[in-house]
Structures are given as C-alpha cells and as structure tokens.
C-alpha cells in the first residue's frame, strides 16, 4: 500500500514526465514515425477504429496524450472525450482540436485515471491506446469503465503487456551492439537503467513499497506498472470478444537502428514479418495486446 503523500509525489513526477517527453532524435519511437507505425501496428489500430465507430457515437479515451486517436475518431463523426494526467499534453491536444477541421472537436480533460470517478452509463465505447500499462490501480479503473459504459458498450484496448526478461535482455544486447541513432558512448551510460528496463510488474510494485528502487524508472515511476495484469483485469470485469497479442520483439529495434531513410520501410517489413513468424510458431506471445471487450450485462 502506498501512503497518500507518497502517491502524490509519485504521480506529480509522472505527470511532469509526460508533459516533458517529446521527440528525441537519438531515441526515435514507433509512434512518431507514421510509416513504421502503420507497418507494425496498423492492422490492430484499424480494428480499434472500426470497432469504436460501430459501437456508437459517445466515446471516452483513457490516457489520450496529444489527441491523435481522439481526433481520428472525431473525424469519423464521433463525440469524443479524452482524459490525460498531463496538463501540458491536454493543452497540446486541445490546441490541435481547435485547429482541426472536424464537425465536433473532442473535449480534452485533465484527470488521474487511478482516482477518477466516471459518469454512469455515459459512453457507448471506451478506448485505451498504450495507456493502461501506466495505471497503478487498474482494477479500480476497470470498475469505473464498466460503470461508465452503457449496457453492451465496448471497451477497446491496444496496450503494452511486456516482453519478458529473456527478450528484453536480447533486445538490450542488440540495441547495445547495433548502430543506432544513439551513439555508443551514451548507450553505455544506459546500463544504470537496466534494472528498471528488465523489472517485472511485481518487482516494480515491490519497489514502490520502498525497497529495490532500482526497478523503477526515476522520472516515470509508474512506467509499465501494470504490464503483466492488463489481460487478467480486463477478463475479470468484461466479456472479451477478441484478444490477440502481436509484435513480440523486433518492433523494439525497428525505429532505433540507424540506416538511410529510404531503407527503413523495407527493413521494417522484414522485421515485422519476423515478429509475425515468432507469434505463428508459438515461440513467444506478443509484447502488445489488442482486446475488444464488452460490458458483461448484455452478453447474448
Ligand atoms: C504512451 S502515452 C500514450 C498516449 C496516447 N494514448 C497515444 O497513443 O498517443 C501514455 C499516456 O498516458 C497518460 N497517463 C499516464 N498515467 C496516467 C494517469 N494516471 N491518468 C491519466 N493519464 C495517464 C500519459 O500522460 C500519456 O499521455
């Protein structure tokens, strides 16, 4: 159990982190590169958009960041509310919404999903893209989402569920030796963050209670805090309609390896095919999960 004072200090740090995090040319991320994003995540993202639109117009997005998904949904005629912890991110998302040419721009609100009270039966659909693995009290949030959905409403999730220790070690080692945008000198300094990179959800939760603080990302204490429990928490509260894991390994290296820009798409397609092969062969499950779930009261 975390004391309220400690929680306030940690969540303030988390909020600051998300407000400051931006593009780092030395550490490019998949979600900053539309071509790579489409190759690795496009199929699941397309499913999420299609299911959200067919669920009904009132949509809530959890951890809406700078508003990309909310705007895509608004562009398809949906009435979207986005909630995010970071005031800075909400400001940027609102500015983006104000200058977008959509009929009904999304509304963006600052809120902490660990403590938020959601309105009753207010939404046809709740979506979460890459945000649930940062939520400390995921059981509580699931109960709030269930309450906020109309009977039969959808809860759609695309999220990170962890790579496991062996794959993380291998990914870390390959990142260390391959030519990346980050120079070798700086990569060597990252060894201090290895414990946090490798830590499981249990180790991170133990670290929050006071010991082994090396398992925590210092600037983002709730990073990956629920990576291991997303699937079980959703299954506990909702009726799961679709569940698939994807991108077990190579997604991690694809944006970071240095090469001429014109080679990137072909390189990414090869790596994505290798990721698919790992899944099909049953060697490992994906590091990401796509879940389409329903509020259970209307199961036919
Ligand atoms: C990896 S980003 C994903 C953002 C967005 N969904 C996207 O895909 O671009 C995670 C987001 O979750 C938000 N977040 C983290 N903890 C949160 C909390 N306790 N309550 C609300 N939002 C939170 C962060 O501020 C950040 O915008």
Probe target for ligand 1 pocket from 41, 59, 134, 220, with the most ligand atoms within 8 Å of CB: 134
Of 77, 69, 72, nearest to 104 by C-alpha is 77
> How far apart are alpha carbons 208 and 226 in whole angstroms?
13
pLDDT for the residue 40: 97
Tell how far the Cα of 84 is from the centroid of ligand 1, in angstroms: 6
Residue extents of the structural domains in the chain? 4-298
Ligand 1, atom 4: nearest CA belongs to which residue? 65
Q: Which atom of ligand 1 is nearest to the CA of 68?
A: 9
Contact by Cβ (8 Å): 138, 227: no
CA distance 8 to 134: 15
Tell me the CATH number for domain 4-298: 3.40.50.150
Q: Which residues line ligand 1 (CB under 6 A)?
A: 14, 18, 31, 63-65, 68, 84-86, 89, 112-114, 129-131, 134-135
Nearest to 176 by CA among 253, 247, 251: 253
* Beta-bridge mates of residue 67: none
For the whole model, what pTM was predicted? 0.95
Nearest CA to ligand 1 atom 27: 65
Hey, whose CA ends up nearest to atom 5 of ligand 1? 65
- Please name the residues in contact with 145: beta carbons below 8 A apart, sequence gap of 6 or more: 62, 118, 126, 155, 237
Site to probe by mutation for ligand 1, drawn from 131, 136, 219, 288 as the one with most ligand atoms within 8 Å of Cβ, is 131
What pLDDT is recorded for position 211? Answer: 58
C-alpha span between 14 and 133 (Å, rounded): 13
Alpha-carbon distance of 279 to 292, in angstroms, equals: 19
Ligand 1, atom 10: closest residue by C-alpha: 131
Cα–ligand 1 centroid distance for 199 (angstroms): 20
Query: Is the Cβ–Cβ distance between 137 and 58 less than 8 Å?
Result: no
From the CA of 32, how far away is ligand 1's center (Å)?
Answer: 15
Q: Give residue 300's pLDDT.
A: 46
Q: How far is the CA of 129 from the centre of ligand 1 (A)?
A: 8
Low-confidence ranges of the chain (pLDDT < 50): 299-300
Tell me how far CA of residue 199 lies from CA of 26, 93, 158, 191, 209, in angstroms: 24, 32, 21, 14, 15
């Amino acid at each position: 159990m975390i004391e309220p004072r400690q929680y306030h200090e940690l969540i303030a740090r988390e909020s600051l982190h998300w407000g400051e995090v931006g593009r780092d040319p030395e550490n490019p991320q998949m979600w900053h590169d539309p071509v790579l994003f489409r190759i690795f995540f496009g199929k699941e993202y397309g499913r999420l958009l299609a299911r959200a639109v067919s669920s009904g117009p009132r949509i809530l997005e959890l951890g809406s960041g700078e508003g990309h998904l909310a705007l895509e949904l608004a562009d398809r005629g949906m009435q979207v509310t986005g909630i995010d912890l970071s005031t800075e991110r909400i400001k940027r998302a609102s500015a983006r919404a104000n200058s977008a040419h959509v009929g009904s721009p999304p509304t963006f609100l600052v809120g902490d999903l660990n403590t938020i009270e959601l309105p009753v039966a207010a939404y046809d659909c709740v979506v979460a893209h890459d945000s649930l693995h940062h939520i400390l009290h995921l059981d509580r949030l699931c109960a709030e989402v269930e309450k906020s959905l109309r009977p039969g409403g959808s809860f759609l999730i695309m999220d990170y569920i962890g790579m496991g220790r062996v794959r993380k070690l291998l990914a870390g080692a390959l990142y260390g030796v391959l030519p990346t945008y980050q120079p070798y000198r700086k990569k060597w300094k990252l060894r201090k963050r290895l414990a946090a990179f490798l830590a499981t959800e249990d180790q991170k939760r133990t670290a929050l209670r006071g010991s082994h603080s090396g398992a925590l990302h210092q600037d983002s204490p709730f990073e990956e805090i629920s990576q291991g429990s997303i699937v079980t928490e959703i299954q506990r509260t909702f009726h799961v309609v679709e569940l698939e894991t994807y991108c077990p390994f190579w997604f991690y290296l694809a944006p970071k390896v240095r090469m001429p820009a014109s080679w990137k798409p072909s390189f990414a397609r090869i790596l994505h095919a290798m990721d698919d092969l790992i899944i099909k062969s049953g060697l490992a499950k994906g590091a990401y999960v796509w879940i389409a779930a329903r509020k259970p009261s209307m199961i036919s």
